[in-house]
Amino acid sequence: MTMTNAMIYVHIPFCDSKCFYCNFASGIYDDNTKKKYFDKLIDEIKFNATKGFNITSIYIGGGTPSSVDADYISRVIQNIKENYIVDKNAEISMEANPCSLSNEKLLKYKQIGINRLSIGVQSLNDI
Ligand code: SF4
């Protein structure tokens, strides 16, 4: 039996600063709020768990997902893999801002299976 393909979008609403033109659900929050958000996000991932779909794409957007500790992103992907059927060739994407990337974070993203980064740049001029 062929399973229906599906995709998962995960919203990370945290940014290091709020751009004046931005209408996305995003903002600057403290570490405690971030921790509580990710705890609830993991609850939600588990609550909606299903093995009825073949997940071909996971997209982690925001906000600026690269602005948070990479361990949070690792927990999200790990829990998706445990609670859903993720295709072995799934595209796992994450939005990133170059200012919040580091070698350590990039290595971690690779280790946890992220195979595509969507890089957002607000300006190429330092001001
Ligand atoms: S970094 Fe992106 S998501 Fe965050 S406030 Fe600016 S435009 Fe919005």
Answer yes or no: is 29 within a domain. yes
Domain housing 88: 4-17+25-119
Domain assignment present for 77: yes
23 CA: nearest ligand 1 atom:
8
**Interior CA angle at 57 toward 78 and 32, to 5°?**
45
Amino acid 121: pLDDT: 78
Question: Which CATH number covers residue 9?
Answer: 3.40.50
Spatial CB neighbours of 53, under 8 Å, sequence gap ≥ 6: 3, 4, 5, 6, 84, 85
* Prediction pTM value: 0.93
For atom 3 of ligand 1, which residue has the closest CA?
A: 63
What pLDDT sits at residue 1? 67
Is 37 a pocket residue for ligand 1 (Cβ < 6 Å)?
no
Look at residue 125 in the predicted model and tell me its pLDDT.
Answer: 85
Residue 127 lies in a domain: no
In a domain, residue 59? The reply is yes
Over the stretch 70-103, which tens digit does the pLDDT of each residue have? 999 999 999 999 999 999 999 999 999 999 999 9
Low-confidence stretches of the chain (pLDDT beneath 50): none
Closest Cα to atom 6 of ligand 1: 19
Domain count, the chain: 1
